[in-house]
């Protein structure tokens, strides 16, 4: 690992916040090749006095920069929001975000004289540091000045004084976006809760936002078009497409489910390619998607989506009818997702073609229990007349069949 995320904590009150955030940040760290270092300062300092915290944290940062090429320091009340962006893109130097974007920064003199109280500043709740000669010197200066100033705001005051001295450029709001301090941001990379008053308010904000960090939210955040699946369906789809081995989907639309499948494999660190088959010449491809103001998907737009998520090498788009199945010779998918022609005839043809491949799992979408689509009849027929296949899971209208593997059955 050449990069690390440091998240320090120092009180019993904030430990529940650490426990809520840590699994999410660990997932991010694993994906992007960061070490995640959650440091309980009580283990280092014993009984922690607030004035002891700032120099201890900056000292740890300084030492980490000697070991790693890139260091990110996130306060406990920050949350990595965009799982698809590398935090190393924040800066080639050292940087932080202005707390109140529309107000001028405090001067070094007012910071010292007023101890920074109520002054606009660069907020060190999220700091991004790339190792070079300047940042190594900056960290030495930051640590020394923090110790000299003393007090709870010593590290933040010292950072701002040095930022003014060295004329550091401030980072875009998205790198530490505080909702009640900054203007709206469609896709923040890190959310800060520094402007919330008290632990309960911060915790409620984090808990609420974590619920939005779901598969649908992550993909819809930057997808041209939309995900059709419900959140429960996407979670179940990710569980199976995240298995090792190739995945085939019939029905592509905006490419969201192919992206989900590729990302789930990447995050599970397993091998496997995604093949997405669609004729791209009927249904909403012609009439437009009613969920996107009648905008119609195109192959070019789907390709843009695949590229935007960085999964081009994991996904092959095949513009062709699904019957006969046009996948490359020798491909044996472990999982198949059928969400193409919803007529009984079309769905039956897809099922017959797919089951000859003998995948481990086949998933059908739009089994709604109301008989709205031909999918209902096809799935019910499989359940009643094909004992080598067993329906094992359902989430809303998504059902999962497992191949039992009965060799006695032809």
pLDDT tens column, 84-113: 789 999 999 999 998 766 666 666 666 655
- R_g (Cα) of the chain, nearest Å: 26
Phi and psi at residue 80, to the nearest 5°: -70, 120
**Residue 324, preceding peptide bond in cis (omega within 30° of 0):** yes
pLDDT score for 410: 33
Written as six digits, the tokens of 41 are 């300062």
- Kindly report, residue by residue over 35-73, the tens digit of the pLDDT: 999 998 877 766 657 778 899 999 999 999 999 999 999
CA–CA dist 34, 319 (Å, integer)? 38
Residues of the chain short of pLDDT 70, as ranges, are 1, 45-48, 100-119, 179-187, 195-196, 371, 405-410
Q: Does residue 118 lie within any of the structural domains?
A: yes
**Residues 95, 200: one domain?**
yes
**Residues 257, 317: one domain?**
yes
Instruction: Tell the residue number behind the tokens 């005839």, with chain if given.
Output: 345
CATH at 327:
3.40.50.150
**Residues 194, 248: one domain?**
no
339 within 8 A of 229, measured Cβ to Cβ: no
**Residues 133, 226: one domain?**
no
**Residues 233, 190: one domain?**
no
Q: Does residue 409 lie within any of the structural domains?
A: no
**Residues 89, 184: one domain?**
yes
**Residues 296, 245: one domain?**
yes
Give residue 141's domain range.
3-213
Last residue of one domain, picked from the residues 176, 196, 213: 213
Q: How many CA atoms lie within 13 A of 7 on its CB side?
A: 24
123 within 8 A of 99, measured Cβ to Cβ: yes
CA distances from residue 405 to 360, 383, 388, 394 in whole angstroms, order as listed = 9, 15, 6, 21
pLDDT score for 108: 65
CA–CA dist 15, 360 (Å, integer)? 42
Quick one: CA torsion of 15, 177, 59, 109, rounded to 10 degrees? -120
Centre a 10 Å sphere on the Cβ of residue 190 and count the other Cβ atoms it contains.
25
Question: How many residues would you count in the chain?
Answer: 410
**Residues 187, 238: one domain?**
no
Q: Does residue 46 lie within any of the structural domains?
A: yes
**Residues 221, 197: one domain?**
no
Centre a 10 Å sphere on the Cβ of residue 95 and count the other Cβ atoms it contains.
21
**Residues 26, 150: one domain?**
yes
**Residues 372, 224: one domain?**
yes
What 3-state class would DSSP assign to 399? Answer: strand
Q: Does residue 408 lie within any of the structural domains?
A: no
209 within 8 A of 191, measured Cβ to Cβ: yes
Cα torsion 215, 216, 218, 223: sign: positive
Q: Does residue 9 lie within any of the structural domains?
A: yes
3 within 8 A of 70, measured Cβ to Cβ: yes
CA distances from residue 262 to 109, 254, 319, 358, 360 in whole angstroms, order as listed = 53, 14, 18, 21, 18
Last residue of one domain, picked from the residues 174, 194, 213: 213
CA–CA dist 336, 396 (Å, integer)? 18
**Residues 230, 378: one domain?**
yes
Instruction: Tell the residue number behind the tokens 């996107």, with chain if given.
Output: 292
Q: Does residue 374 lie within any of the structural domains?
A: yes
Q: Does residue 186 lie within any of the structural domains?
A: yes
Structurally, the chain folds into a number of domains equal to 2
Pairing of strands 398-403, 361-364: antiparallel
SS (H, E, C) 259-305: HHHHHHHHHCCCCCCEEEEECCCCCHHHHCEHHHCCECCCHHHHHHH
pLDDT score for 408: 37
Centre a 10 Å sphere on the Cβ of residue 154 and count the other Cβ atoms it contains.
21
Q: Does residue 410 lie within any of the structural domains?
A: no
Last residue of one domain, picked from the residues 144, 179, 213: 213
77 within 8 A of 125, measured Cβ to Cβ: yes
pLDDT score for 407: 42
CATH at 112:
3.90.550.10
């Amino acid at each position: 690992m050449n990069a690390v995320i440091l998240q320090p904590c120092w009180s019993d009150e904030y430990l529940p916040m650490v426990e809520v955030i840590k699994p999410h940040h660990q997932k991010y760290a694993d994906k992007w090749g960061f070490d995640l270092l959650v440091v309980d300062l009580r283990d280092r300092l014993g009984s922690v006095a607030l004035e002891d915290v700032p120099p201890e944290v900056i000292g740890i940062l300084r030492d980490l920069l000697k070991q790693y090429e890139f260091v990110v320091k996130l306060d406990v009340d920050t949350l990595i929001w965009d799982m698809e962006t590398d935090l190393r893109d924040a800066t080639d130097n050292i940087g932080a975000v202005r707390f109140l974007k529309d107000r001028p920064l405090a001067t070094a003199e007012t910071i010292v004289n007023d101890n920074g109280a109520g002054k606009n500043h660069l907020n060190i709740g999220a700091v991004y540091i790339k190792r070079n000669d300047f940042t190594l010197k900056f960290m030495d200066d930051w640590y020394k000045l923090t110790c000299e100033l003393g007090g709870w705001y010593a590290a933040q005051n010292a950072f701002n004084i040095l930022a003014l001295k060295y004329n550091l450029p401030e980072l875009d709001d998205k790198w530490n976006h505080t909702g009640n301090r900054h203007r709206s941001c469609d896709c923040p990379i890190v959310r800060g809760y520094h402007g919330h008053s008290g632990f309960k308010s911060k915790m409620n904000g984090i808990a609420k936002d974590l619920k939005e960090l779901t598969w649908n939210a992550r993909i819809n955040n930057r997808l041209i078009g939309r995900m059709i699946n419900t959140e429960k369906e996407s979670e179940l789809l990710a569980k199976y497409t995240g298995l090792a081995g190739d995945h085939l989907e019939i029905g592509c639309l905006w490419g969201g489910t192919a992206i989900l499948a590729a990302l789930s494999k990447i995050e599970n660190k397993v091998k496997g390619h995604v093949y997405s088959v669609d004729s791209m010449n009927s249904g909403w491809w012609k009439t437009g998607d009613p969920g996107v103001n009648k905008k119609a998907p195109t192959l070019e737009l789907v390709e843009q989506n695949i590229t935007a998520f960085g999964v081009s090498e994991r996904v092959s788009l095949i513009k062709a009818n699904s019957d006969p199945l046009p996948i490359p010779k020798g491909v044996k998918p472990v999982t198949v997702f059928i969400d193409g022609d919803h007529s009984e005839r079309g769905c039956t043809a897809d099922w017959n073609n797919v089951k000859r491949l003998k995948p481990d799992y086949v998933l059908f979408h739009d089994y709604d229990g109301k008989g709205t689509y031909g999918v209902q009849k096809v799935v019910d027929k499989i359940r009643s007349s094909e004992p080598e296949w067993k329906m094992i899971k359902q989430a809303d209208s998504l059902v999962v069949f497992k191949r039992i593997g009965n060799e006695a059955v032809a």
